[in-house]
């Protein structure tokens, strides 16, 4: 991925989209059961851009392009994302292993000393265990 | 569901390449498709972020296209202040009509979609990118979003399923 064209304004915009995703997620999840399919589609369309941006942010972080303040903000947003893994699955069908892509892309959260508390349904852990089992043992 | 929407669904489900004629059908269809105007809630943080940029939004639901346009203007700097929904829609349709526009079919969170990425003609803005991406939902028969992007690798993550470049 060519990162040369990305400046601080890009990073701030990407962080803003991401912040709106994770901070509005509780409200979106509360509404989700009553939302029309069209409105759910709107949220999915929004997430396409936001999740793509999150991937770019990971590369920019690995490339040393985020300021300390931007790194701290990204770590906090990543923490909020993981803490709401159950809501991400409820609304978007993205399961915990898919959210953990942020660690492949790059996240300052991997260097944070604080614990991350993730609430997931037991069924999600079951799928996660299957995904982590070596293919030969399945 | 229109014949072209069924075609897009068929291409995604079978993961087969589209013929040249089928590519043409999809491009013509998306170039005339409406952008979603379904009323959507503007949640608290989005509202606050817009207000912080001097944009007051009424408390009721807003058409989805208006919400996307506000973000493109005030968050991304990708469209000029004052752009109307009609102009935004024209820009997305114009992008789709670019003679070299690549076409992808894919499934995004269960929704069957076509995506097109044309060289951007919206250049006199704070943060222009090389391309305009247009996402079309065959499930809803509407363009669901459009934004500027530097390339497909910044849009399509691993979470995009059955992704196939058709053109």
DSSP readout, B69-123?
HHHHHHTS--S-TT--HHHHHHHHHHHHT-TT--EEEEEETTEEEEEEEEE----
Chain B contact residues (CB < 8 Å to A): 36, 38-41, 43-46, 49, 64, 67-68, 71, 75-77, 108-111, 126-127, 129, 135, 137, 139-140, 144-145, 147, 149-151, 153-160
- Chain A partners within 8 Å of B40 (Cβ): 39, 42-43
Does pLDDT of B1 surpass 90? no
Q: Does the beta-carbon distance from B144 to A44 stay under 8 Å?
A: yes
Q: Which of A3-12, A24-33, B38-47, B101-110 has the lowest mean pLDDT?
A: A3-12
3-class SS at A123?
helix
Region B118-133: what's the mean pLDDT?
96
Whether B65 is in a domain gets the answer: no
**CB proximity A14 to B under 8 Å:** no
| pLDDT of A134 above 80 | no
Q: Is residue B44 part of a domain?
A: no
Residue in chain B nearest A15 by alpha carbon? B75
Contacts of A49 in chain B (CB under 8 A): 145, 147, 155
Which position has the higher pLDDT, B48 or A114?
A: B48
| Confidence class for position A126, pLDDT limits 50, 70, 90 | confident
Tokens at A124, concatenated? 């999600």
Residues 6+ apart with CB under 8 A from B39: A39, B60, B61, B62, B63, B64
The pLDDT of residue A136 is above 80: no
- Chains A and B: how many Cβ contacts under 8 Å? 104
Distances (CA, A) of A98 to B39, B75, B145, B157: 29, 26, 23, 10
> What pLDDT shows up at residue A119?
81
Q: Tell me the pTM.
A: 0.95
Summarize pLDDT for A69-111 with one digit per residue, the tens. 999 999 999 999 999 999 999 999 999 999 999 999 999 999 9
Reading the block at residue B95, the tokens are 């992008």
Residue reference for tokens 């939902």:
B137
Which residue's entry shows tokens 């005339």? B32
Tell me the average pLDDT across B85-99.
98
Identity of the residue in B43, B77, B151 whose CB atom sits nearest the CB atom of A28: B43
Q: B66 lies in a domain?
A: no
Q: How confident is the model at residue B103 (pLDDT cuts 50, 70, 90)?
A: very high
Å from B133 to nearest chain A CA? 10
- Prediction ipTM score: 0.96
> In the predicted model, is pLDDT for residue B92 greater than 90?
yes
Q: Is B55 contained in some domain?
A: no
pLDDT at B160 over 70: yes
Phi/psi for B131 (5° steps) reads: -135, 160
pLDDT for B27-83, tens place per residue?
Answer: 999 999 999 999 999 999 999 999 999 999 988 899 999 999 999 999 999 999 999
Does a structural domain hold residue B18?
A: yes
User: Which residues of B fall within a CB distance of 8 Å from A9?
Assistant: 77, 126-127
Q: A48 and B64 in contact by Cβ < 8 A?
A: no
Q: Does A134 touch chain B (CB under 8 A)?
A: no
Task: Report, as an integer, the average pLDDT of B92-119.
Answer: 98
Q: Which two tokens stand for residue B15?
A: 């993961």
pLDDT higher than threshold 90 for residue A138: no
* A13 and chain B in contact, CB less than 8 A: yes
Q: What distances in angstroms separate CA B54 from CA A14, A74, B65, B142, one per listed residue?
A: 19, 25, 19, 30
| Domain span at B94 | 3-38+84-165
B155, part of any domain: yes
- Number of structural domains found in chain B: 1
């Amino acid at each position: 991925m060519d990162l040369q064209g990305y400046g601080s304004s890009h990073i701030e915009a990407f962080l803003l989209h991401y912040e709106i995703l994770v901070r509005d997620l509780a409200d979106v999840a509360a509404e989700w059961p009553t939302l029309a399919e069209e409105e759910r589609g709107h949220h999915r369309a929004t997430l396409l851009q936001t999740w793509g941006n999150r991937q770019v942010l990971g590369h920019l972080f690995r490339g040393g392009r985020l300021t300390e303040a931007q790194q701290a903000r990204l770590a906090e947003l990543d923490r909020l994302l993981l803490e709401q893994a159950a809501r991400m699955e409820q609304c978007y069908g993205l399961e915990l292993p898919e959210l953990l892509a942020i660690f492949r892309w790059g996240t300052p959260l991997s260097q944070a000393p604080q614990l991350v508390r993730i609430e997931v349904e037991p069924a999600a852990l079951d799928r996660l265990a299957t995904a982590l089992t070596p293919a030969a043992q399945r | 569901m229109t014949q072209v929407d069924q075609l897009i669904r068929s291409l995604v489900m079978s993961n087969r390449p589209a013929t040249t004629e089928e590519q043409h059908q999809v491009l013509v269809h998306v170039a005339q498709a409406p952008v979603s105007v379904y009323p959507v809630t503007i949640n608290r943080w989005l509202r606050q972020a817009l207000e912080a940029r001097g944009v007051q939004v009424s408390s009721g639901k807003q058409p989805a296209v208006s919400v996307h346009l506000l973000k493109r203007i005030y968050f991304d700097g990708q469209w000029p202040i004052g752009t109307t929904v009609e102009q935004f829609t024209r820009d997305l349709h114009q992008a789709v009509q670019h003679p070299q526009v690549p076409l992808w079919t894919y499934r995004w969170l269960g929704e069957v979609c076509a995506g097109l990425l044309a060289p951007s003609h919206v250049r006199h803005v704070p943060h222009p990118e090389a391309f305009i991406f247009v996402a079309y939902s065959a499930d809803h028969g509407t363009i669901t979003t459009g934004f500027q992007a530097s390339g497909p690798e910044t849009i399509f993550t691993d979470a995009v399923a059955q992704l196939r470049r058709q053109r």
